[in-house]
Structure 1
Amino acid sequence: MASGPDRLAAYLRQHGVDAEILYPGKSTATVAEAAAALGVHPRQIIKSLLFQGKDGTAVLVIARGETRVDRRKLTEATGLRQPQLAPPQLVLDLTGYPPGATPPIGHLTPLKVVVDRAVLEEPVVYGGGGASDVMLRISPPEILRLTGATVADIASEAVNDPGGHARG
């Protein structure tokens, strides 16, 4: 099986996606590190997190890396009951990518996707690129086009971890 970045590159070609896979050569483990490695503002770093409801339903959430997903707002926006972060193996099984490197697009399984409204404030964002040292440059409108995502207010501003997690 091809590597995560190779599969993502194939997806970009097949779907005519205006995006770029980046290999910064520096750590991108936190929002601050990813922003510094790419020379961009931290608010441009996004994370893709898979949440699972009590009934097993999965929803992919795309939010700024420096924010925290508000589970109450997520439930209101999606109907997902008692959402929890999905176990790492489920993330890999459904998306084809490991947690921390999950891109916002190109998943193995079609998923319901919700994008936090604040992500749309940036013309270009940077998210997981399929491996821990790889990032994807993409515009929010491309994410919406490719995923059919719902846009909702689902995140709160601050993450307690000052470094923040760059990607989910």
Structure 2
Amino acid sequence: MHPTAEQFAEEVRSTHGVDIEVQEFPEGTKTAADAATAIGCDVSQIVKSIVMRVGDETVVVLTSGANRVSEAALASEFGVDPSEVRSADASEVKQATGWSIGGVPPTCHTNGCPMVADPTFDEFDEIWAAAGTPEAVFRLTPDELRQLSDPRFVDVFE
């Protein structure tokens, strides 16, 4: 297993007391479609960790692979003007989460960024999220997502 994926699994274990099974796919799981194909699930079951700048803060948006973040809805949720919402750049992502773009998991972030999650996940028994690298994922349930990430489930998606 890649050392970064091992590090993530250990952080989940030490922080949350939960053992996860990381699966790696050499062909990559960088996009939701790639991940769904590799895993053999619906793209809606993929948890995309989208890191956004919303006003003066960084927000992690956990969205279904089938959905896109609505900047206008996210702005409304946080009470800022839509012009104050943008995707975080690579250095902002790394600084806020401790992980690099393409492998940002839904938990164990460097800073306590606010998190919101897609209500779509409740439609599934299992979902899949990045495990620290663009090739690594882990399976979890919507309830486990709540336990590990403690997001607000809100509809800020297109």
TM-score (norm 2): 0.88
| 1:20–1:138 contact (8 Å) kept in structure 2 | no
Structure 1 CA distance for aligned equivalents of residues 80 and 123 of structure 2: 25
Aligned to 1:165: none
Q: 1:138 and 2:143 equivalent? A: no
Summarize deviations over 1:88-119 as a string: whole Å, max 9, x none: 10111111111111001111111110001112
Structure 2 CA distance for aligned equivalents of residues 106 and 57 of structure 1: 18
| 1:94–1:107 contact (8 Å) kept in structure 2 | yes
Counterpart amino acid of residue 37 in structure 2 = A
| 1:4–1:96 contact (8 Å) kept in structure 2 | no
Q: 1:129 and 2:131 equivalent? A: yes
1:62 to partner: Cα distance: 0.2
| Bigger mean CA offset, 84-93 vs 142-151 | 142-151
| 2:33–2:65 contact (8 Å) kept in structure 1 | no
**How does 1:68-79 map onto structure 2 within 5 Å?**
68-79=68-79
Counterpart amino acid of residue 68 in structure 1 = R
Q: Which structure's residues are more often helix, by fraction?
A: 2
Q: 1:117 and 2:119 equivalent? A: yes
Counterpart amino acid of residue 142 in structure 2 = P
1:80 to partner: Cα distance: 4.5
TM-score (norm 1): 0.83
Q: Structure 1: give runs of 5+ residues left out of the alignment.
A: 157-168
Aligned to 1:154: 156
Q: 1:20 and 2:21 equivalent? A: yes
| 2:30–2:103 contact (8 Å) kept in structure 1 | no
1:148 to partner: Cα distance: 2.2
Aligned pair count? Answer: 154
| 2:9–2:19 contact (8 Å) kept in structure 1 | no
| 1:57–1:80 contact (8 Å) kept in structure 2 | no
1:18 to partner: Cα distance: 5.5
| 2:51–2:87 contact (8 Å) kept in structure 1 | yes
1:73 to partner: Cα distance: 1.2
> RMSD of the alignment, in Å?
1.8
Structure 1 CA distance for aligned equivalents of residues 28 and 57 of structure 2: 33
